[in-house]
Amino acid sequence: MDNPPSRPSLLDRLSALLSPEPEDRDELIGLLHSAFERNLLDADALSIIEGALQVSDMQVREVMVPRAQMDIVQLDSPIDAIANVVIDTAHSRFPAVGENRDDVVGILMAKDLLRYFAGRELDVRDMLRPAVFVPESKRLNVLLREFRVSRNHMAIVVDEYGGVAGLVTIEDVLEQIVGDIEDEFDFDEVEDNIRLDQQGRYRVKATTEIEDFNEAFDRDFSEEDCDTIGGLVIRHLGRLPKRGEVVNIEGLRIQVLRADSRRVHTLQVEAAPKPVPTES
């Protein structure tokens, strides 16, 4: 008896879908969306493929943490002050600077401070790792390859004049491909959607529902227009905001802490400063 024909594999079906080969990227993306509609790809796979294609068109300046928002450690600060910065921000790596933010001497690893908490003598300068500098115009796919080869996870971004423009991490690049990457320091419980920081400001997940946001901040935003506070910010601007952008809505100053080209992740919320009255 003849054996029944085997079912084509996913690779076989994708190969058939892509034959003849697409002539440009738009045609390729159209074919991928067609594959998704025919259940050859799931939504996550389609999103990752689109993100991977997108990074080759993006530059470091589009995803970097701007200079003003960089969490840094000052080398001339006491060890206690440096340790407090590490604890408060909960990052694993910090640019260590000398006289100012343009004077990046190296990268401090948070784990290297464990010796200090164990009561041992240490010199912060002796613990610094070399800093890697990249231009704002570097393509993200090239940077990702360099991160993999060098095993670095952070680079200092410089402008055309050699000044520090910001910093970028391997997580910033990967999030353009796979979306938001949460770690053990990110708040992910429902009750932690709104969290008070050390400066008396609130870190708010963009996915926080309007009803919960209204209750926390004593506001009356309509739930008919948008479901989440991130959606409210997007609606207010009329577009997706970039990291660092600030909007003032009904007495609240809302700054975008984390965002990519597809969605907003985290916001910082505080009472907007009252306008200074002008003298008549």
pLDDT higher than threshold 90 for residue 132? yes
The structure's pTM equals: 0.58
pLDDT higher than threshold 60 for residue 274? no
Q: What does the pLDDT read at residue 273?
A: 64
Is residue 236 a contact partner of residue 264, using CB atoms and an 8 Å limit?
Answer: no
pLDDT higher than threshold 80 for residue 148? yes
CATH number for 194-271: choose from 3.30.565.10, 3.30.465.10, 3.40.50.300, 1.10.260.40.
3.30.465.10
pLDDT in tens, 174-222: 887 776 555 444 544 445 688 886 567 888 888 899 999 999 999 999 8
Residue 256's DSSP bridge partners are 267
pLDDT in tens, 254-273: 988 877 666 788 888 988 76
Domain ranges of the chain: 23-57, 61-178, 194-271
Is residue 267 a contact partner of residue 197, using CB atoms and an 8 Å limit?
Answer: no
Q: Which is more confident, 219 or 225?
A: 219
Give kind and range of the element (H or E) at residue 140. Answer: helix 140-150
Q: Which is more confident, 152 or 258?
A: 152
* Average pLDDT score over the chain: 80
CATH number for 61-178: choose from 3.10.580.10, 3.40.80.10, 1.25.40.10, 3.40.50.280.
3.10.580.10
Residues 49, 104: Cα–Cα separation, whole Å? 36
Pairing between strand 65-66 and 164-169? antiparallel
Contact residues for 111 (Cβ-Cβ < 8 A; gap 6+): 92
Q: What does the pLDDT read at residue 233?
A: 92
Q: What does the pLDDT read at residue 226?
A: 84
Is residue 95 a contact partner of residue 169, using CB atoms and an 8 Å limit?
Answer: no
Angle formed by the axes of helices 25-37 and 43-55, to 10°? 170
Q: What does the pLDDT read at residue 92?
A: 87
pLDDT in tens, 16-74: 555 566 667 777 777 777 777 777 777 667 777 777 877 888 889 888 888 888 889 99
Buried b (16+ CB within 10 A) or exposed e, 167-185: bbbbebbbbbbebbeeeee
Q: What does the pLDDT read at residue 266?
A: 84
Q: Which is more confident, 160 or 187?
A: 160
**Which segment, 8-22, 99-113, 188-202, is predicted with the most confidence on average?**
99-113
Q: What does the pLDDT read at residue 189?
A: 44
